[in-house]
Amino acid sequence: MSQLRRILLITDTWSETNGVTTTLRHTLRVAEQRGIEFIPVHPGLFPRFPNPVYRQYWHAVPVPGRTRSLLREVRPDAVHIVTEGPLGVLGQREAIRRGWRFTTSFHTRWDHHGKHLLALPPAIAWSWMRRFHARSSRVLAPTPSILQLLREQRFTAPLRLWQRGINHALFYPRPKSCCGVQRPIALYVGRVSREKNISAFLDLALDGTKYVVGDGPMLAQLKRAYHREIEAGRLVFFGECKGERLGALYAEADVFVFPSLSETFGNVILEALASGVPVAAYPSPGPTDILSVPGVGALHEDLGVAIRQALATGNAAACLAHAQRYTWDAATDQFLGALIPAYPEPDMRDAANPALRLRPTA
């Protein structure tokens, strides 16, 4: 592992705010502090077009000649392909053409996303994902439940765990203020989109106030659908929040609600726990792996029951202690330990050619 000091990273998401980019940003920061160099190939290096549904997402037009030009001088120690998108596909083809071995990672339940967004049968999505990851030397996934799911879906490459961490300098318990709203405060943070199942939360008849933090294609639609609750002060949409404002909103909540059924992990769950806030969720992959000890929340097929149980049994000290088990140093150890040398034999690597450094765009 110590010899893998230059890592080629190919990803279809880079500047957006999502679980993948959060994971990459922190992993790269920790690894670079250890003297490891990353060569990122990302959409900012290509012609791009906006996603017609998610306005904040931009997709690369992965011109093969451009990719080959970028990689011409690269002599990586290891190659990791982050996503199954156009750049991931083209990067995989180039790696195979050059004789590089590579690892891949599984971040997104495209079986759920395809069903919700495109009415695509899950079997088609799984067939595509199996083909994409079949040439990988190792597939990294964030939880034991997802590893088991990939086994059940007949993934053939070796599987390794790559968990997540938490920024404890930003997410931590704070005194709850007299914020002028009725308690308890039930908080959702994340993309406001169909696959997140937010209506399952907003439809619940709960005491107190609901907070929704995030942006996405369903934001305007949900504001119209729940305008009475907004006018009555029982529901507040904050839009996208970052930094200290986001950390303060987490800490202000009495319970964090995670209604999604399509996650592979759920970074926001860790952010809530680190803020001393118990979590209510469905018993699905991600929540079942994280909410594994008493006092940190509740899982139930009825989300309303889960919320009431989390409020009744949640303990801020237990939440914080559990969150502190997740660090980006440990997650980075898992990532680096799962990488493999790009070249089967050390002498196949032409070390005389310096790597082309590709710097991320702003």
Which pLDDT score is estimated for 115? 64
List strands edge to edge, sheet with 139-141. 37-41, 6-10, 78-81, 103-105, 139-141, 159-161
List strands edge to edge, sheet with 235-239. 235-239, 209-213, 185-189, 255-258, 279-281, 297-299
Q: What is the mean pLDDT of each run of 10 residues along the chain (362 residues)?
A: 83 88 94 95 87 72 81 90 93 93 93 69 91 97 96 96 95 89 96 93 97 94 97 96 96 98 93 98 96 97 98 97 96 97 68 36 32
At position 66, the amino acid (one-letter code) is: R
Dihedral sign for Cα 299, 300, 301, 302, please: negative
Which pLDDT score is estimated for 116? 59
CATH number of 185-323: 3.40.50.2000
**Pair 24, 11: CB distance under 8 Å:** yes
On the question of a cis peptide bond just before residue 278, with omega within 30 degrees of 0, the verdict is no
Q: Record the tokens describing residue 194, joined without a space.
A: 């169909």
- DSSP assignment of 159-190 equals EEE------TTTS---PPP--SSPSPEEEEES
6-165+327-348 with 185-323: one CATH topology? yes
Domain 6-165+327-348 fold is: Rossmann fold (3.40.50)
**Pair 231, 252: CB distance under 8 Å:** no
Helix (H) or strand (E) holding 126: helix 122-134
Report the half-sphere exposure of 98 (CA within 13 A, side-chain side).
24
- DSSP assignment of 324-338 equals TT--HHHHHHHHHHH
Which pLDDT score is estimated for 358? 37
Q: Record the tokens describing residue 128, joined without a space.
A: 């595509």
C-alpha distances (whole Å) from 179 to each of 74, 209, 249, 251, 252 are: 54, 11, 11, 12, 9
Beta strand 78-81 with 103-105 is parallel
Taking the model in full, what pTM does it have?
0.87
Dihedral sign for Cα 177, 178, 183, 187, please: negative
Put residue 272 in one of left, alpha, beta given phi > 0 → left and psi -120 to 50 → alpha.
alpha
- DSSP assignment of 300-332 equals -SSHHHHHHHHHHH--HHHHHHHHTT--HHHHH
Which pLDDT score is estimated for 180? 84
Please give the biggest Cα pair distance in the chain: 70
Structural Rg of the chain based on CA atoms = 21
CA triple 353-356-359, angle to 5 deg? 160
Q: What residue ranges do the domains of the chain occupy?
A: 6-165+327-348, 185-323
Which pLDDT score is estimated for 352? 35
Q: Record the tokens describing residue 271, joined without a space.
A: 């952010």
Which pLDDT score is estimated for 351? 41
Q: Record the tokens describing residue 206, joined without a space.
A: 């709960």
